[in-house]
A and B are shown apart, each in its own frame.
Chain A
């Protein structure tokens, strides 16, 4: 796959991934650009035996986003403890509440959840991106969802099809 084909196929997904990690459009744009420039300038660094172009690009983007994350949250632990529930507010939009709940996740859980939930990655693909084994990814994903269940419990939809209210 040529860099142009890779760009056409994945740049939107990489941009969305970084945007959800950083919650900043300017950073998402910069990191996406840097990610594809790295591939354009040195395509020989991609090793097809270690994964697909897709996971290679996402791993570059993840690395750059985590670097930014660490710069921004120097004193925060990457795999922190419980987060407080997001309280519903009168003017609080649900998408903002979800964004905040995901942003409050520890970084390693956050990236796994975003890749799984929003980009449709398999556990193995996520494992390639984050350089971990699939079991670890599954565990992170499980913990992330557990936290979100509690954090977003207050936003249960009234009269939803499951009739849980």
Chain B
């Protein structure tokens, strides 16, 4: 718009209105809404969908490893299912018995005329090793 200095008369109403319209204000920034209305807390059931918690790295690694092992061990469909079951059963045990038997052999007694009375009685006590 071409303007030129003009000293003298005042502006008319319409001239002043036209001039005032030339001054425009910038629009309000969009961030104003977020500043006035911060995000409201969600209901509990909706928060469950986005719940999160912090896990230390070693724990997370151990869990991941455990899951991987479990997945690896998991029987695949169609594979025979190995069932290991432990049962206690009564088994008859044959125990050998060692029986010591003393067999006496009969011997004929010597003739009576061959027996003589002893001149001196000398008893001797014989003990087993346990009694000693």
Q: Do A and B come from one complex?
A: yes
Interface residues of A (CB under 8 A from B): 3-4, 7, 11-12, 15-16, 19-20, 25, 28-29, 32-33, 36-37, 40, 87-88, 94-95, 98-99, 102, 117-118, 145-146, 148-150, 152-158, 160, 162, 164-165
Closest residue to A8 on the B side, CB-wise? Answer: B33
Could you say which of B16-24, B57-65, B83-91 contacts chain A?
A: B16-24
Most central of A102, A153, A160 by chain B CB within 10 Å:
A153
Q: What 6 A-B pairs have minimum CB-CB distances, sorted nearest first?
A: A15-B28, A149-B10, A98-B23, A16-B25, A149-B11, A36-B36
> What DSSP secondary structure best describes chain A's contact surface?
helix
- Beta-carbon contact of A12 and B37 below 8 Å: no
Q: How many A-B residue pairs have CB under 8 A?
A: 107
Q: Which residues of chain A come closer than 8 Å to B36, judged between CB atoms? A: 7, 11, 33, 36-37, 40
- Beta-carbon contact of A158 and B3 below 8 Å: yes
**With A149-B16, A160-B18 given, can you name 15 additional A-B contacts, CB distance below 8 Å?**
A7-B37, A11-B33, A12-B27, A15-B25, A16-B25, A20-B25, A88-B4, A98-B20, A148-B16, A148-B19, A149-B10, A154-B7, A157-B15, A158-B3, A162-B14
Q: Can you pick out 21 interface pairs between chain A and chain B where the beta carbons lie within 8 Å of each other?
A: A15-B28, A15-B32, A19-B26, A32-B32, A33-B36, A36-B32, A88-B3, A88-B4, A95-B22, A149-B10, A153-B8, A153-B10, A153-B11, A154-B7, A156-B3, A157-B19, A158-B3, A160-B15, A160-B18, A164-B12, A165-B6
- Beta-carbon contact of B26 and A94 below 8 Å: no
Given A15-B25, A16-B25, A164-B9, A148 contacting B20 (CB threshold 8 A):
yes
Interface residues of B (CB under 8 A from A): 1-20, 22-29, 32-33, 35-37
> What DSSP secondary structure best describes chain B's contact surface?
loop
Instruction: Report the separation of the CA atoms of residues A8 and B32 in the bound assembly, to the nearest whole angstrom.
Output: 11
Q: Which residues of chain B come closer than 8 Å to A25, judged between CB atoms? A: 26
Nearest chain A CB to B4 CB, angstrom units:
5
Q: Which residues of chain B come closer than 8 Å to A37, judged between CB atoms? A: 36
Q: Which residues of chain B come closer than 8 Å to A165, judged between CB atoms? A: 4, 6
Given A152-B19, A153-B6, A162-B14, A33 contacting B26 (CB threshold 8 A):
no
